[in-house]
């Protein structure tokens, strides 16, 4: 994902938590790799909200470090 301002990425991560679409998960997984702690936190919360346990499995399978 292109680096935009942190506030834009944070807003995107939060907004996607309200919108389940076939590309939502892909975008949120990319946001989990952000350098910004808040962006990662908001993306993780949105993934869990939309996909629950399946999100945790996918994060683990992709070996994404979501330490927040």
Lookup result for tokens 């996918």: 58
In a domain, 30, yes or no: yes
In a domain, 68, yes or no: no
**CA-CA-CA-CA dihedral for 53, 39, 23, 54, to nearest 10:** -10
In a domain, 51, yes or no: yes
Q: Is the pLDDT of residue 50 over 90?
A: yes
**Structure pTM?**
0.80
Residue 41 belongs to what domain range? 6-61
Quick one: angle between helices 37-61 and 24-31, nearest 10? 120
Residues 2-46: tens digit of each pLDDT: 566 999 999 999 999 999 888 999 999 999 889 999 999 999 999
In a domain, 18, yes or no: yes
In a domain, 25, yes or no: yes
Number of domains in the chain: 1
């Amino acid at each position: 994902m292109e680096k935009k301002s942190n506030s834009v990425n944070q807003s995107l991560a939060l907004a996607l938590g309200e919108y389940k679409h076939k590309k939502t998960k892909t975008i949120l997984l990319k946001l989990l790799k952000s350098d910004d702690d808040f962006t990662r936190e908001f993306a993780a919360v949105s993934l869990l909200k939309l996909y629950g346990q399946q999100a945790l499995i996918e994060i683990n399978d992709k070996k994404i470090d979501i330490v927040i």
